[in-house]
Chains A and B, each alone.
Chain A
Amino acid sequence: MNDQWIELNIGPQHPSMHGVLRLKAKLDGEIIRELEPVIGYLHRNAEKLCEMGFYCDNLIYFDRMDYVGAMNMEVGYLEAAEKILGVPPPDRAKWIRVIIAELSRIAAHLVWAGAYGLDLGMLTPFFYCFAEREKILTIFTEACGSRQETNYMSIGGVYQDFNDKIIQEIKDFLETFPKRLEEIYNLYVKNDVFLSRTKGIGVLSKEVAIAYGVTGPMLRASGVEYDVRRAEPYLFYDKVNFEIPISHKGDNLARFLVRFEEMRQSLRIIKQGLEKLPEGPYFNPKAKKSMMIRLRGDGEYYARTESSKGEFGVYIVADGGVKPYRVRVRSPTFKNLSILPVLSKDVMLADMIAISGSIDLVFGEIDR
């Protein structure tokens, strides 16, 4: 430690810290020499809570992990829990899950885009993003009566079937959203301030990203074509056509572009899902409500899914009882955040805010 350096504490209560991130920085003038994230302010030990509840109860803790894209968390947990219990969902429920999870991915990326604009001093795109996100949340409300912590899916299917009104709402959304998305996109990429603060800042190389376990849009922006939906397809992701956007630049702008392209690809998936949605039951009769708490599981299963932030893994160890023996969650942002001290070494303090914003931090998931 040089005696010219000053120690600066940033957060946990600070608007640009996306929740409760606390950073201990050592500054040389305005340049960061060392940075140490301090986390755990939102810790409630969901893994322990999961050991205390029945398999069907535990879904609510997963909603509260990545609360901006809750449906993807539910898919991740159920992928593991249903395999452990041996109650596969019927085809209609699987397609409904695909559609809902992709809508949720768009909603999560819109929150990120709006908040990232705020980080860099742009207020206007925030309102555009949230106005569009509200339409998705209206669809969720129609499907399950709740906006954010939805608890929509259940073991062996979904809680409620899609009716004609929901399908019409999704179709309307598919019609209006692409135009709005391009409007929002132009608000960013035609803004000189935005470009100068993202281009060439926070460059992450391929090798470092893999070594630190970075996944999701951050990894794809560094030039690795890795998406769990393609690498190990779950639900019906092997039956839909979509492309995996990648960029070789690895900077903040690349992450922005990858996320926007992902939203366009999600729209394609939703469109195909609606076309292929079959008639039939929407839950497995083996898992009807009176039977749910009697389901017993055995063995161990690690399921990985692609949430809006990256590879979301759920590892369940069962001992033959009605409650899981051990649940372990691989949260993507926890790994992505561990790259921040590396990325923000010898950069300006203001650029560090731009870098930490581009990681897409959600603290419900990091602290669990």
Chain B
Amino acid sequence: MVDIISESKGKDGRKIVLVSVENLIPFMKEMRTNGFDHLSLVTAVDKKDSIDVVYHLHSMERNEYVVVKVNTKNSVVPSVTGIWPSANWDEREQYDLVGVRFEGHPNMKRIFLPESWVGHPLRKDYDLSKVQYINMDEDGEDYVTFDAGDGW
């Protein structure tokens, strides 16, 4: 049994378990062997001074839902792709949009935005007034420019 920090109940009636970053992988492995075979959703929530990463776990057989949360100050969390392959794209998306690095992920690249994009849009301190233009260099690699004249 892996240590947890706290346990509570959400508005939707689902159990919320808060674990520490170090205990995340052993805890998730235990959940996987307990029959939670479907990782429904990975969400990162920017809380301004720290980031919450929320995992919605689901057991197909028992139709049971559990929400697992970790809180990270330096926005680095171990990847669970090795336990549930469905985390692969979800974690890439959260890295792209919120800027959480998932350590041990096989392909930690942006999924929606071009690789050279500056900043992570779902961060609360993201500057929306700066317009970024995407262009392509001669090798076919994209790059971002802040000048409308260079982009298209």
Contact = CB atoms under 8 A, between A and B. Distances in A.
Interface of A: 39-40, 43, 45, 47-48, 51, 83-84, 210-213, 224, 226, 231-232, 299-304, 311, 313, 315, 317, 325-326, 328, 330, 334-335, 338, 367
Nearest to A52: B128
Majority secondary structure, A binding face:
mixed
Given A39-B112, A47-B97, A211 B85 contact: yes
Contact of A299 (B11, B84, B85, B93): B11
Tell me which of B40, B46, B63, B113 has the highest count of chain A C-beta atoms within 10 A of its own C-beta. Answer: B40
Contacts of A330: 40-41, 56
Contacts of A367: 112
Contact of B56 (A47, A48, A226, A302): A302
A43 B12 contact: no
B56 A313 contact: yes
A325 B45 CA distance: 9
Contact of B60 (A47, A224, A303, A317): A224
Contact of B63 (A43, A231, A326): A231
A51 B63 CA distance: 31
Given A48-B122, A311-B40, A326-B46, A213 B112 contact: no
B17 interface: no
Contacts of B85: 211-212, 338
B12 A301 contact: yes
A47 B37 CA distance: 27
Contacts of A45: 97, 112, 121-122
Interface in B36-71: 37-41, 43, 45-46, 54, 56, 60, 63, 67
Given A43-B112, A48-B122, A301 B11 contact: yes
Contacts of A299: 10-11
Given A213-B40, A338-B86, A43 B60 contact: no
A315 B41 contact: yes
B86 A302 contact: no
Given A83-B12, A84-B11, A211 B84 contact: yes
Contacts of B54: 315
Interface in B19-50: 37-41, 43, 45-46
A317 B53 CA distance: 12
Contacts of A311: 40
Contact of B12 (A51, A210, A302): A302
